[in-house]
Structure 1
Amino acid sequence: MMNCYIYFKADSSLEADILKAEKQLQQLLMSQHQIRSRVQRRPAATGEPHTWMEVYHDVPVGFDNLLNRVLEQTLFADLQYSERHIEYFLDVDVCA
């Protein structure tokens, strides 16, 4: 299976808005596409930009296009944050 990891930075003052947008995004992906996800934030000092990580489990090929369509339906469209960096990883069975 393939997992997708996306990270970006946003001003710490946007934390409440980011959390609302992330909740909306996760709910849409689960209800529309049955894609499980979670969000994490790197610990940061007050006033510094926060680094956020989105983790999507068992995503289909072309997930970035699907995600972009869903993002347009969320509060992320109105937020100012850094470029989203996308990486994919495959599960590897080391016991085979």
Structure 2
Amino acid sequence: MDLYIYYRVDRAHATPLFGKIKGVQAMLQARLGIAGALKRRPGEQDGLQTWMEIYQGILPASAEDFTRTLDRALEDSGAAALIRGERHVEQFEDVAPCA
């Protein structure tokens, strides 16, 4: 299962948030073996950027635990306070071929 998490970031918070998110992702890689990617939609709207975190290869049985660990890490790092509005979490799984 893969998680895609997107949210808005004020231009003024982009640099500090980048460091915090990369730190959280390094911790998740070291502790859980799950690497994260960080993307940004090109451009801005009203001084806000749209960012996306991607986490791939999460076992379905551990997705809820992973999400809780990620949320806690974002709070502990101070990253959550730099995000504007809600974080939107989407789960996707591979499409199995039809037999």
TM superposition score normalised by structure 1:
0.84
Measure the CA separation in 1 of the matches of 2:91 and 2:44: 29
Counterpart check, 1:90 vs 2:76:
no
For these two proteins, the number of residue pairs brought into alignment is 95
Deviation by residue 1:25-58 (Cα, 9 ceiling, x = unmatched):
1111001111111000001148620000000011
Aligned-CA RMSD value: 2.0
> 2: CA distance between counterparts of 1:84 and 1:77?
9
Report the more deviating stretch, 10-19 or 58-67.
Answer: 58-67
Gapped regions of structure 1 (runs ≥ 5): none
- Gaps of at least 5 residues in structure 2 are none
- TM-score, reference length from structure 2: 0.82
Q: Percent identity?
A: 35
1:8–1:83 CA contact under 8 A, matched in 2:
yes
Higher helix content, 1 or 2: 2
